[in-house]
Chains A and B, each alone.
Chain A
């Protein structure tokens, strides 16, 4: 789901209290409060990222959908492999595993009322 007020794309597999563990300026992992295992992903600043990187590359419009793994991979490409710190790469790998395991698709994109 895309939340316009926070400009973030979120996926979480459970409805319950969770902790937001910041990885970097783009990615936050959502962690279960009980056993501290990752249960969700938050991609921040998504509107800007969608306009600059995703929309053109995947020819997207509001009727399309996109595998969340593609969005995460594009986020990793935008940072660049050489810039990754160890725990940062590990977190992105965790996020990719969650997105792949649950077959998460992005069907909710920022409204581009001012961008069209």
Chain B
């Protein structure tokens, strides 16, 4: 409790305190919107071979501009395999509350050909679908503490990551980023999403025979 002369001393100290005044718009910290340029994944031709894929940032930026954060959260948690880089995310990742995430590099199945036109590819033949079965994801939260929160993914869903291979397939081209120097980059992750699983084989997407041309592995 401050009384008498202590208060006057405090008032003097406050008068001397200089609070910096900064004019202009707040600094835009876009760290949480930043995704890795390249992510590791499996080769569509050999499950045991790890390769790199560029991660499309265009769709995510466009969605963010329209107020949609979920594509970013899905990419971060189910392709990169990390929690979104938002303030106070440690609330969900510290010891005792960690929920393992399942990255794209742990795909257990791969299909080729979407059976529909996609861009310049009239048949969708050069697009591959990689399948994972994550248990947890992150979604936007209306919270003052952390704007993202984990949610449990229902067991009747699988996650599909679509990749368009470079054409023609480039010879081994080592990327310079330190983390993925050893992975040749083979294509680009173009889009992704949760789909319902096959009732007979819950590790595969429903209707995979009609959706895709061929199962690679």
Residues of B52-82 at the interface with A, using a CB-CB cut-off of 8 Å, are 56, 58-59, 62-63, 66-70, 74
Interface check B165, CB cutoff 8 A? no
The contact of B195 among A8, A22, A45, by CB within 8 Å, is: A22
Interface check A5, CB cutoff 8 A? yes
What residues of chain B lie closer than 8 Å to A25, measured between beta carbons?
Answer: 115-116
Q: Verify B74–A17 contact, CB threshold 8 A.
A: yes
The residue of chain B having its C-beta at the shortest distance from the C-beta of A4 within the complex is B58
Min C-beta distance of B177 to chain A, whole Å? 21
What residues of chain A lie closer than 8 Å to B153, measured between beta carbons?
Answer: 17, 33
Given A22-B211, A47-B119, CB of A17 within 8 Å of CB of B70 = yes
Interchain Cβ contacts within 8 Å, total number: 75
Interface size on A, residues (CB 8 A): 23
Interface check B101, CB cutoff 8 A? no
The contact of B118 among A6, A15, A33, by CB within 8 Å, is: A6
Q: Verify A5–B58 contact, CB threshold 8 A.
A: yes
Interface check B191, CB cutoff 8 A? yes
Min C-beta distance of B169 to chain A, whole Å? 19
The contact of B117 among A4, A5, A22, A48, by CB within 8 Å, is: A48
Given A22-B207, A33-B154, CB of A6 within 8 Å of CB of B70 = no
Interface check B33, CB cutoff 8 A? no
What residues of chain A lie closer than 8 Å to B135, measured between beta carbons?
Answer: none
Given A17-B137, A48-B122, CB of A6 within 8 Å of CB of B207 = no
Interface check B7, CB cutoff 8 A? no
Residues of A1-47 at the interface with B, using a CB-CB cut-off of 8 Å, are 1, 3-8, 12, 15-22, 25-26, 33, 44-45, 47
Q: Verify B154–A15 contact, CB threshold 8 A.
A: no
Taking beta carbons and an 8 Å cutoff, which residues of B are in contact with A?
56, 58-59, 62-63, 66-70, 74, 115-119, 122, 137, 139-140, 151, 153-154, 157, 162, 164, 188, 190-191, 193-196, 207, 211
- List 18 A-B residue pairs with CB atoms under 8 Å apart, sorted by A's residue number: A1-B62, A3-B191, A4-B59, A6-B118, A6-B191, A8-B191, A15-B67, A15-B69, A15-B70, A15-B140, A16-B139, A17-B137, A18-B194, A19-B194, A21-B195, A22-B211, A33-B153, A48-B117
